[in-house]
């Protein structure tokens, strides 16, 4: 027992020391970063070089020395011919959008779009690899507006969906002149949902009053703590219907070939079924499409990287660790269903 007591005391002291160090580091970073504007930089990678490196590494492992020598000789001859050819090879600018409920990736997307619009021409193309299950209406409205900038500039926009583009995700996808989908990607969910708990009866049971004071008849319709009225519910539902109509009109504007009333039911479809309903134009993964384009165009991947403060890095590390823990256990629970 004495050993356990000493060991517990040692752990407590160690934990206290670690916490103290973290607090000091965060405080120092906050002091240094005070008054300093957040900044970042645009990172550009030529994907043709990436695909070439993949092929060459495979060739080195598979081909004999004689075959590899002949292949390199043929490549050198082709490269020499390309240099003699007149310039003008089309360019493809590749962007990524991995959407959360707040469409946080919009902060980077807006800078990436601004950069490519400064030099892209009508003969070029923008490819967006989009993954999002949707989220807040105003956040995805802003994200969609960034893609509208590309379309309004007269630059072809292709949207690739490998996993999911639903709700706000499809709001973004529909702006593309061409939508490509993996066969089992999830698309659709053209609808609006809002939900919130109400604990008024619990508070009333324990004789706890909660006052909601407003100026304006509909400043608050439904609340978490106050007593909700039928009139408030009707107004809330009316607002949802209005938002849904605006959502339908937005999708119909950019995808006029859709039977909007038939597909704007909040349902989702897998890629093959989505193609039948004209939600997508072609079944093809982003990998296949970009590999094909690399044979005839110059591909550039754009990513605007934000510089993160120490507090943000510490918070991000903690968040990622928690996410990994939750996902690991969810995966294990899901796998047990198929054992």
Residue positions annotated with a catalytic role: 167, 219
Three-state secondary structure along the chain?
Answer: CHHHHHHHHHHHHHHHHHHHHHHHHHHHHHHHHCCCCCCEEEEEEEHHHHHHHHHHHHHHHHCCHHHHHHHHHHHHHHHHHHHHCCCCCCEEEEEEEECCCCCCCHHHHHHHHHHHHCCCCCCCEEEEEEEECCCCHHHHHHHHHHHHHHHHCCCCEEEEEEEEEECHHHHHHCCCCEEEECCCCEEECCCCCCCCCCCHHHHHHCCCCCCCCCCCCCCCCCCCCCCCCHHHHHHHHHHHHHHHHHHHHHHHHHCCCCCHHHHCCCCEEEHHHHHHCCCCCEECCHHHHHHHHHCCCEEEEEEEEECCCHHHHHHHHHHHHHHHHHHHHHHHHHHHCCC
Residues paired with 164 in a beta bridge: 186
CA dihedral 99, 105, 111, 115 (to 10 degrees): -40
């Amino acid at each position: 027992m004495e050993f356990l007591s000493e060991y517990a005391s040692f752990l407590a002291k160690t934990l206290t020391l670690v916490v103290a160090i973290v607090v000091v580091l965060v405080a120092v970073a906050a002091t240094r970063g005070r008054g300093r504007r957040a900044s970042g930089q645009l990172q550009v990678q030529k994907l043709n070089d990436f695909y070439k490196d993949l092929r060459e590494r495979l060739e080195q492992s598979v081909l004999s020395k004689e075959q590899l020598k002949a292949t390199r000789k043929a490549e050198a001859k082709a490269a020499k011919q390309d240099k003699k050819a007149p310039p003008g090879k089309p360019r493809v600018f590749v962007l990524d959008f991995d959407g959360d409920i707040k469409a946080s990736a919009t902060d980077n997307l807006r800078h990436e779009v601004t950069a490519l619009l400064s030099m892209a021409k009508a003969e070029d193309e923008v490819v967006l690899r989009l993954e999002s299950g949707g989220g807040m209406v105003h956040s995805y409205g802003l994200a969609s507006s960034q893609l509208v900038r590309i379309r309004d500039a007269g630059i072809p926009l292709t949207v690739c969906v490998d996993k999911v583009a639903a709700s706000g995700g499809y709001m973004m996808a529909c702006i593309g002149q061409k939508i490509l989908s993996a066969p089992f990607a999830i698309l659709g969910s053209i609808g609006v949902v809002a939900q919130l708990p109400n604990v008024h009866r619990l508070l009333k049971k324990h004789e706890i009053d909660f006052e909601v004071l407003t100026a304006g008849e509909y400043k608050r319709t439904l609340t978490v703590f106050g007593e909700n009225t039928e009139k408030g519910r009707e107004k809330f539902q009316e607002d949802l219907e209005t938002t849904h109509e605006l959502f339908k009109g937005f999708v119909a504007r950019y995808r006029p070939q859709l039977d909007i009333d038939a597909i704007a039911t909040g349902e989702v479809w897998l890629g093959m079924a989505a193609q039948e309903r004209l939600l997508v134009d072609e079944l093809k993964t982003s990998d296949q499409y970009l590999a094909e384009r690399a044979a005839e165009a110059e591909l550039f991947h754009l990513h605007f990287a934000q510089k993160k403060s120490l507090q943000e890095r510490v918070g991000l590390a903690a968040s990622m660790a928690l996410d990994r823990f939750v996902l690991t256990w969810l995966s294990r629970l899901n796998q047990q269903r198929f054992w």
